[in-house]
Amino acid sequence: MNNIHDMGGMTCFGPVEREENEPIFHGEWERRVLALTLATSVFFGPLDRRRHVLEQMNPLDYLSCSYYERWLVRIERLSKETGFVTDEAFTSRGAALFETVSGAPVDSDTMDSIIRQGNPSVRDTGRLEPCFAVGDRVRARNINPSGHTRLVRYVRGRVGVIHQIHGTHRFPDTTAHDKGENPQPLYSVRFDATELWGSSASIKDSLFIDLWEDYLEVENG
Amino acid sequence: MNNIHDMGGMTCFGPVEREENEPIFHGEWERRVLALTLATSVFFGPLDRRRHVLEQMNPLDYLSCSYYERWLVRIERLSKETGFVTDEAFTSRGAALFETVSGAPVDSDTMDSIIRQGNPSVRDTGRLEPCFAVGDRVRARNINPSGHTRLVRYVRGRVGVIHQIHGTHRFPDTTAHDKGENPQPLYSVRFDATELWGSSASIKDSLFIDLWEDYLEVENG
Amino acid sequence: MADKHQHDVPPNPYLEKRRTATEAKALEERVRQLENLLTEKGVVSKKTLDRVVSIYENDLGPLNGAKVVARAWIDAAYRQRLLADATKAIKELGFGGLQGEHMVVVENTATVHNIVACTLCSCYPWPVLGLPPTWYKNPPYRSRIAIDPRGVLIEFGLELDDSIEVRVWDSSAEIRYLVLPERPQGTEEFSEEELAALVTRDSMIGVARVNSFS
Amino acid sequence: MADKHQHDVPPNPYLEKRRTATEAKALEERVRQLENLLTEKGVVSKKTLDRVVSIYENDLGPLNGAKVVARAWIDAAYRQRLLADATKAIKELGFGGLQGEHMVVVENTATVHNIVACTLCSCYPWPVLGLPPTWYKNPPYRSRIAIDPRGVLIEFGLELDDSIEVRVWDSSAEIRYLVLPERPQGTEEFSEEELAALVTRDSMIGVARVNSFS
């Protein structure tokens, strides 16, 4: 969906403001929201799905919430979807989720290990042979999917060059919507600033963004 | 500037909601804001400049205000700029404005005549010979000016066809910033929906938008 | 793309009715102060303000547009003039002026459906339709009409066949668009006045068709 | 485009400090209720939550990244390994894991300046930099860094010569970027620890250079 989270290239949010002392957390509640988010991450499903929950906030709510407030809204929504919040007891949906997710709640050692190991998106299945090689000219497709996508609006239809191949990774557009991981090559694509923003941009400058193979098409000429 | 007012193609604002009975005004204050806006329009300068004031609202304010609230904010800002609100007496700037605008306040008969006559943007000076003809393929330039523009983000870089020539009109991008009216041909340009939004759009559909000559370049092939 | 965006739409907070009584009162007061200030400074006069309100509340509205449409339906020569130079043809019926200095009329047919919008703000042909409705000025219509016109029309109760060509007109301040809807069947015997009574505002924006019963 | 957008910037309402004491209290309460609910349901345990907070408040932060940078400055072979496979080379120093499963290091030189951002959300290399600062996650940086990086850098006090090539890295969740800043002059005699002490978080995001005094 084309929502406000896709804000690259907007010029209307004012100057960057740095806080004095830059506290990691602005209150105890922010600590707990971070912890709740990480501790429920296995339970509530793939990252892409959880990201999409944030992206579905209407722009007014999205912009009036601070960062951890949005994360709070996300846990609340996911809890509601699961049936925790609406009913006193577990709903059947919540109970079913428990059955499929083994070992909830995550204990502190498992959490520790999740943080140390991470949750890599790289896959050794799916499309393992990249269609494009480093140096190839590609055009970012102009697609406007209704669901989650990482193809930002500001590169759609623009021509770039393959800079690096990151291997085969799960595809967010399908993973977010329970349509399978659809693993495919992920590329770092370089765009000239003038291609993205026109001739007033510096000809010295460029922008690199990671794009999945399904976002790209061959550019001839 | 790329601000939230340029919202064509966003898909995140929810369904269209129609009000019961669709009142023209939702309170006496809306009547007065409309009237104040029209009655001060000559005094506060060209439409494009006044539009730009609205567009400069930060997105959070823009979206949390209703339509006439934004118009109210505009009159307040213009009044402040003119020096009415900040000081008890006229500031020199406000006084100077009065000197240049003859006949303020507009009396009700003049207002009536303004409403009946309008304020046409068509000009018989400037670039009178259009560069493009009906049927020409053109590409909307990918420009990202910092000021007021009517070149919406969703057509930048896209290819369309000249559908109609509307004559020579004052150019908003310069008029809004006191850089002259720079009159030039205004075209109705037709874009295929698939060109704007990709292959999921209907091949039957198209979008027409009025674009000034400086927004367009020849598209070959 | 009709139902494509359905599952992704959050509730709409963009309606006027969100405002509490206290907030509304504060707003009334804010406007009163501004009006007093501008009146005191001699920028506006109360009499002028009252005249503006009266014109837009009483004189201008979609009845003007309905007269234009009805005339075009019964008078083929007028219809031609209207499609060739709308501003001039509309002037024949006495309408024109502010926010309608240069008007264009686009014609619906059995195979083409036109819709008017303004994605950047709220441009609309005031002399023939009056002031735009709230939904026309709010983000849901402005944003989605450009990318998903068929889906938006469904929300207005109008489901178009895939074979019909949809044309969206994203208006700007300089040129204002009016849709000439199709004359409904079974109105062959209607008088010009009876025809005008059938023509709705929504049909002239292009979010509805005209029915043979009003 | 450095100062181009200057006259158009409205005041920034996107900082945490906007919140009143009452609102903050309501927020604390809302979070407490959610935590209690999820704990009661057995989805999370307090002990696990405490562990998470402790890790991100005490163990992870830009000091890790600074060690990586300092090592690369003094050890040419390590620098090569870091630029070739950052995840593996960073693992040599014991760092890696969540939100840094696949890392890439980009090198600043006398002619190239790299800046890391995430326009869609807040992706950032947690194992080497800890949690991102507020400005990194807020709309002003996220939106403008893509179109006006030089203007944004000026707001950070870094004015780049036109001859320098600016590279913006718009990160996504899968690949996390870290800038290897230039080693400042006059640090030839510094130990690895002394070098690490010079390296700031901002220099590893690319919004600052490293100075020879900390």
pTM for the whole structure: 0.93
Per-residue pLDDT reduced to its tens digit, B120-141: 999 999 999 999 999 999 999 9
Instruction: Test A1 with B13 for CB contact under 8 angstroms.
Output: no
Q: What are phi and psi of D170, to 5 degrees?
A: -90, 95
Instruction: Test C10 with A144 for CB contact under 8 angstroms.
Output: no
Q: Is residue D122 among the annotated active site residues?
A: yes
Q: Please check whether residue C160 is in contact with residue C108, taking contact to mean a CB–CB distance below 8 angstroms.
A: no
Q: How many CB atoms lie within 10 A of CB C189?
A: 6
Gap from D120 CA to chain B (nearest CA, Å): 15
Q: Is residue D123 among the annotated active site residues?
A: yes
Q: What is the phi-psi region of residue B83: left when phi exceeds 0, alpha when psi lies from -120 to 50, beta otherwise?
A: left
Average pLDDT over residues D113-125: 97
Instruction: Test A13 with B58 for CB contact under 8 angstroms.
Output: yes
| pLDDT grade for B82, boundaries at 50, 70 and 90 | confident
- Please name the residue of chain B whose CA is at the shortest distance from the CA of residue C10: B14
Sign of CA dihedral A93, A94, A99, A102: positive
Return the number of CB contacts < 8 Å for B and C.
274
Per-residue pLDDT reduced to its tens digit, D37-78: 999 888 899 999 999 999 999 889 999 999 999 999 999 999
Q: Please check whether residue D105 is in contact with residue D75, taking contact to mean a CB–CB distance below 8 angstroms.
A: no
Gap from A203 CA to chain B (nearest CA, Å): 14
Average pLDDT over residues B170-184: 96
Q: Is residue C122 among the annotated active site residues?
A: yes
Q: Is residue D214 among the annotated active site residues?
A: no
Per-residue pLDDT reduced to its tens digit, A189-199: 999 999 999 99
Nearest to C151 by CA among B208, B202, A3, B21: B202
Residues of chain C with Cβ-Cβ distance to B108 below 8 Å are: 45, 47-48, 50-51
- Please name the residue of chain B whose CA is at the shortest distance from the CA of residue C34: B76
Residue to substitute from A4, A29, A76, A158, interface D, most D β-carbons within 10 A: A29
Per-residue pLDDT reduced to its tens digit, A159-174: 999 999 999 999 999 9
Residue to substitute from A58, A74, A148, A156, interface C, most C β-carbons within 10 A: A58
| The predicted structure's pLDDT at residue A101 | 56
Per-residue pLDDT reduced to its tens digit, C109-154: 999 999 999 999 999 999 999 999 999 999 999 999 999 999 999 9
Nearest to B196 by CA among B158, B148, B163, B141: B158
Residue B71 has pLDDT above 50, yes or no: yes
- Please name the residue of chain D whose CA is at the shortest distance from the CA of residue A111: D48
Residues of chain C with Cβ-Cβ distance to B117 below 8 Å are: 97-98
Residue A169, H or E segment: strand A159-169
Helix spans in chain B (H): 28-39, 47-55, 59-64, 67-82, 92-100, 108-117, 172-175, 193-197
Distance separating alpha carbons of residues C3 and C154, to the nearest angstrom? 9
For the question of an ipTM over 0.90, the answer is: yes
Q: Please check whether residue D156 is in contact with residue D207, taking contact to mean a CB–CB distance below 8 angstroms.
A: yes
Instruction: Test D96 with A94 for CB contact under 8 angstroms.
Output: no
Gap from D10 CA to chain B (nearest CA, Å): 6
DSSP state of C27: H
Q: Is B17 on the interface with A (CB under 8 A)?
A: no
Instruction: Test A57 with C10 for CB contact under 8 angstroms.
Output: yes
Q: What are phi and psi of A127, to 5 degrees?
A: -80, 105
- Using CB atoms, list chains with 3+ pairs below 8 Å to chain A: B, C, D
Residue D28 has pLDDT above 70, yes or no: yes
DSSP state of B64: H
User: Beta partners for B161?
Assistant: B137, B190
Instruction: Test A147 with C11 for CB contact under 8 angstroms.
Output: no
